[in-house]
Amino acid sequence: MTTNGIFQLLFYLAALILLAKPLGAFMSRVYQRQKTFLDPVFGPVERLIYRLSRINPDEEMDWKENAVAFLMFNFVGLIIVYGLQRLQQLLPLNPQGLGAVSPDSSFNTAISFATNTNWQGYGGETTMSYLTQMLGLTVQNFVSAASGMAVLVLFIRALARHSATTLGNFWVDLTRSTLYILMPLAVIVALVLISQGSVQNFSAYASASLLQPTTDTSGAKVTEQLIAMGPAASQIAIKQLGTNGGGFFNVNSSHPYENPTPFSNFLEMLSILLIAGALCYTLGAMVGDTRQGWALLAAMTIILVVGIFAAYHYESAGNPKFDSLGVDQHTTAINPGGNMEGKEVRLGIANSALWATVTTAASNGSVNAMHDSFTPMGGLVPLVMMQLGEVVFGGVGSGLYGMLVFVIVAVFVAGLLVGRTPEYLGHKIEAYEMKMASLLILIMPLTVLGLTALAVITSAGTSSILNPSAHGFSEVLYTFTSQGNNNGSAFAGLNANTPFYNITGGLAMLISRYWLAVPTLALGGSLVRKKLIPAGEGTLPTHTPLFIFWLIAVVLIVGALNFFPALALGPIVEHFMMIQ
């Protein structure tokens, strides 16, 4: 670890925290339909959308109606993305003449983008036409993120209200998330990325003569290189902001056209956590007690900081096995030192470790380095970040509502510890709430552990493993952890574009998105009906350092306890073998 590296990490964290309040306050105005400076621009568009789709924005819905709206909307989006992939050879904006995508891969990708996962079993530039990328994937990048934000806002209203039945209107929250929050931010980020050198065009791929001709695997001489083009910057901006993570190019943000400069790197990393962090403040503002929002942001940040520094530490420490190969892992003025395998030299260890932690803390999943090539413990950090249930910042919207479920569990046990039926923000936590919270905590480990087990004992699963070792196990575990938490990042080394992985992964993504969102709304539907219990001396405050500490403990214990045995057989045993 270098001073410069540590400074960059701290600078990043400071920027993230400083932006939480202004953006969070703005979003709270957006969701409460108060005046904003963007009204003159988007107001007419918004009203037009409501008129065309015959939505009365003043009509509120209960949790069931909202859940149906959410599911229907996502289902239609899923069908469109599937159709576009299957029919892209017949549709325009396909200068490379790319063919139809296979049914299982289309299935997986459609789910992947509708669920805000953006797991990519395919390589973008060799699979998807520009039309599919723009109309299918980029549109889903916006609306899947906006769907998550809408579900969160419905849930926040449940916490802010008492003795009510309705949570708001999903369609309104969806529209306003997209128009007032995602659109403007995406335009700004895209323009800055273009200024940094990201491509944004509809050209056919450019061809360049190699200065140093080479030979391919069959021994034929290669003198030309095809350089992929396309409307990349606009998709990259939203894939970062909406915690989607689906790269325009196969190598994602390690591609120079996707992530050209250190500044673009910083901006893209900031975009990953920006909205998720600010939503904590929005929560506080909407429930009328900003301390509640800061407390959650503090809990998330503390876990994130531990993750970042652990990843940075282990990557800087390098791999002792490299020493025997004569690799110099010492940090000097001209040598980054540590484990540089799978990392972009122009980005270095600090920024690769930071990105890896941030992208998995959020359910983003974009990468600027290959997580598969991290040291075992360095690779354990992204795994654990996802296995905590994507609640450390997490996906936009989904991360915070996931965290609120942990808050309810933490409040429940803490309430028992102080001898009082627990309450959160004046809502009594009773059997129904615990039923939903338990379900929400239960589903993810069940999906991830179950599918991993299926993959390692069936030949359909094991035949894709390129490293049959503890590391191979880590790769399978990572695959299902990523899809089962709607993250979408991948450990390479596993051929996941097979019918087995496409289908099981698709199921994991569906379960982790909708089986969590719908019980969350049900939980909201129950909380909103509760009578307000005014806070008194006997009420356990949920904004104190003690409660933050307790919440972190609950998140870590529930996450770590479920996955410790699996991790022991993967990264942990790899680590001990490496240092042996």
Residue 92 interacts with another protein (CB under 8 A): yes or no:
no
Instruction: Give me the residues paired with residue 206 across strands.
Output: 227
Residue 569 interacts with another protein (CB under 8 A): yes or no:
yes
Question: Count of CB atoms within 10 A of residue 52's CB?
Answer: 8
Token match 């689906």: residue? Answer: 246
Cα 108 to Cα 22: distance, rounded to the nearest angstrom: 37
Out of 24, 433, 478, 555, the residue judged to bind another protein by CB under 8 A:
433
Q: In this structure, are residues 405 and 443 in contact, taking their beta carbons and an 8 Å threshold?
A: no
Stretch that binds another protein, among 147-155, 335-343, 349-357, 432-440 (CB under 8 A): 432-440
Stretch that binds another protein, among 133-141, 230-238, 294-302, 536-544 (CB under 8 A): 536-544
Binding mask 297-326 for another protein (x = CB under 8 A): ------------------------------
Burial category of 37 from C-beta neighbours within 10 Å (exposed 0-12, middle 13-18, buried 19 and up): exposed
Residue 551 interacts with another protein (CB under 8 A): yes or no:
no
> With respect to another protein, which residue has the nearer C-beta, 103 or 541?
541
Q: In this structure, are residues 365 and 245 in contact, taking their beta carbons and an 8 Å threshold?
A: yes
Instruction: Give me the residues paired with residue 225 across strands.
Output: 208
Stretch that binds another protein, among 343-351, 362-370, 408-416, 500-508 (CB under 8 A): 408-416
Question: Count of CB atoms within 10 A of residue 201's CB?
Answer: 12
- 3-class state of residue 220 by DSSP: coil
Cα 547 to Cα 414: distance, rounded to the nearest angstrom: 9
Out of 49, 470, 511, 555, the residue judged to bind another protein by CB under 8 A:
470
Residue 466 interacts with another protein (CB under 8 A): yes or no:
no
Stretch that binds another protein, among 60-68, 255-263, 425-433, 510-518 (CB under 8 A): 425-433
Burial category of 565 from C-beta neighbours within 10 Å (exposed 0-12, middle 13-18, buried 19 and up): exposed
Residue 565 interacts with another protein (CB under 8 A): yes or no:
yes
Out of 62, 65, 341, 430, the residue judged to bind another protein by CB under 8 A:
430
Out of 291, 417, 466, 495, the residue judged to bind another protein by CB under 8 A:
417
Residue 15 interacts with another protein (CB under 8 A): yes or no:
no
* Least distance CB 109 / another protein (angstroms): 27
- 3-class state of residue 424 by DSSP: strand
Counting Cα atoms < 13 Å in the Cβ hemisphere of 362 gives: 36
Stretch that binds another protein, among 84-92, 292-300, 361-369, 567-575 (CB under 8 A): 567-575
* Least distance CB 446 / another protein (angstroms): 5
Out of 47, 64, 291, 420, the residue judged to bind another protein by CB under 8 A:
420
Out of 413, 463, 466, 495, the residue judged to bind another protein by CB under 8 A:
413
Residue 576 interacts with another protein (CB under 8 A): yes or no:
yes
> With respect to another protein, which residue has the nearer C-beta, 61 or 554?
554
> With respect to another protein, which residue has the nearer C-beta, 142 or 550?
550
Residue 412 interacts with another protein (CB under 8 A): yes or no:
yes
Out of 389, 445, 484, 505, the residue judged to bind another protein by CB under 8 A:
445
- 3-class state of residue 76 by DSSP: helix
Residue 243 interacts with another protein (CB under 8 A): yes or no:
no
Residue 462 interacts with another protein (CB under 8 A): yes or no:
yes
Out of 441, 490, 552, 555, the residue judged to bind another protein by CB under 8 A:
441
> With respect to another protein, which residue has the nearer C-beta, 87 or 535?
535
> With respect to another protein, which residue has the nearer C-beta, 76 or 532?
532
- Which residues have C-beta within 8 Å of that of residue 29, sequence separation ≥ 6? 35, 36
Q: Which of 131, 307, 163 is nearest to 231 (CA)?
A: 131
Cα 486 to Cα 364: distance, rounded to the nearest angstrom: 8
Residue 288 interacts with another protein (CB under 8 A): yes or no:
no
Cα 423 to Cα 471: distance, rounded to the nearest angstrom: 44
Residue 42 interacts with another protein (CB under 8 A): yes or no:
no
* CA distances to 134, 139, 221, 228, 477 from 131, in Å: 5, 11, 33, 15, 33
> With respect to another protein, which residue has the nearer C-beta, 182 or 477?
477
List Cβ<8 Å contacts ≥24 apart for 12-17.
Answer: 12/266, 12/269, 12/270, 12/354, 13/301, 13/304, 13/305, 15/270, 16/270, 16/273, 16/274, 16/277, 16/301, 17/277, 17/297, 17/301
The H or E element that residue 505 is part of is helix 499-527
Q: Summarize as ranges the residues that interact with another protein (CB under 8 A).
A: 409, 412-421, 426, 429-431, 433-435, 437-439, 441-442, 445-446, 449-450, 452-454, 456-457, 462, 468-470, 472-473, 531-534, 536-541, 544, 546-547, 550, 553, 557, 561-562, 564-566, 568-569, 572-573, 576-577, 580
